[in-house]
Amino acid sequence: MKRIYFFLTVTLLFSACKNNQNASEKAVEEEVLNIPECVVTTPPDSLGLDPFYKKYVDVNGLALISSWRVPDSAFVAAHRTLYAMTSMLPEAVLDSMVARGTRVAIMARYEGTTDIPEHHYLVNDTALNWDLRARGLGGDLELPLTSCAEENILAYQIDKYHAEDILIHEFAHSIHLIGLMLAVPDFDSRLKQCYEQAKAKGILAGTYRETDKEEYFAEAVQDWFNVNAEMPHTDGKHNWCNTREELQVFDPDLYNLLAEYFPQTNMQISKHKKVNEYGNQ
């Protein structure tokens, strides 16, 4: 099951990632991303969206949407995050995601998971109250919609996931299952190999990463962008690894795989700040 769940003043310059750079080197060239202005409008009719959706932003061809209740500030923050996450993806990966209607819906603070039209069917689940359980769900081929929550995007104090960015985790599922898995023939087999090797080493024990290769990937993408939660010792969900630098030490094979698709940037792309209290345990 998918886990339920700034500005820097810089001279903006986009540079392509050097895929052939030795990922074992401690020093890597930082990328500064040219993030365009976020312009909130109404959804175009061509998307055929439910009337629930009143706000819309285009992010590299992908739709970021919500009801009228979500403040524009949440769109600005989410747009920054999503643009950074997709900035280095191969064209074929983005094309696959766009062709399948990949989109991201923001829940307002006082909206629930089942208020999202595509997730309304979950009210029929008598075993689980999804409005209590979920403040974000990842997209896949069956339902190419990622959901996330205003309070997590804007890092409100009331956010139950205050130590991590859930949008990055959940959208990582969409990148994997709708983009990379379809557009890059050997990606999933390489990811599976990394996952099985990491499990064999025992480094995933007692963490959410161990669940399956999908969660293994999504947790690592959070590490990559320095927005995962950390614990001094494993607590059933997290451990000490929660930053890109630590991922390189913790799981170098997975680090090298992610380096092919995500930018080596230390720009703050999330309202959640980098926290590293425990280091390599």
pLDDT at 281: 53
CA distance 263 to 15: 9
**pLDDT digit string, tens, across residues 61-102:** 999 999 999 999 999 999 999 999 999 999 999 999 999 999
Closest CA to 5 of 124, 113, 154: 113
At 29, is the pLDDT very low, low, confident or very high (cuts 50, 70, 90)?
low
Please compute the mean of the pLDDT values over residues 236-254 and round it to a whole number: 95
Strand runs labelled E in 54-160: 55-59, 62-66, 103-107, 145-149
Q: Is the pLDDT of residue 175 over 50?
A: yes
Closest CA to 248 of 85, 18, 24: 24
Please compute the mean of the pLDDT values over residues 232-251 and round it to a whole number: 93
Pairing of strands 55-59, 62-66: antiparallel
Please compute the mean of the pLDDT values over residues 128-150 and round it to a whole number: 93
Closest CA to 84 of 280, 271, 281, 277: 271
Q: Is the pLDDT of residue 20 over 50?
A: no
Q: Is the pLDDT of residue 2 over 80?
A: no
pLDDT at 280: 60
The answer to whether the beta carbons of residues 222 and 272 sit under 8 Å apart is no
Q: Is the pLDDT of residue 3 over 70?
A: no
Q: pLDDT: is 132 or 54 the higher one?
A: 54
At 233, is the pLDDT very low, low, confident or very high (cuts 50, 70, 90)?
confident
Q: Is the pLDDT of residue 22 over 60?
A: no
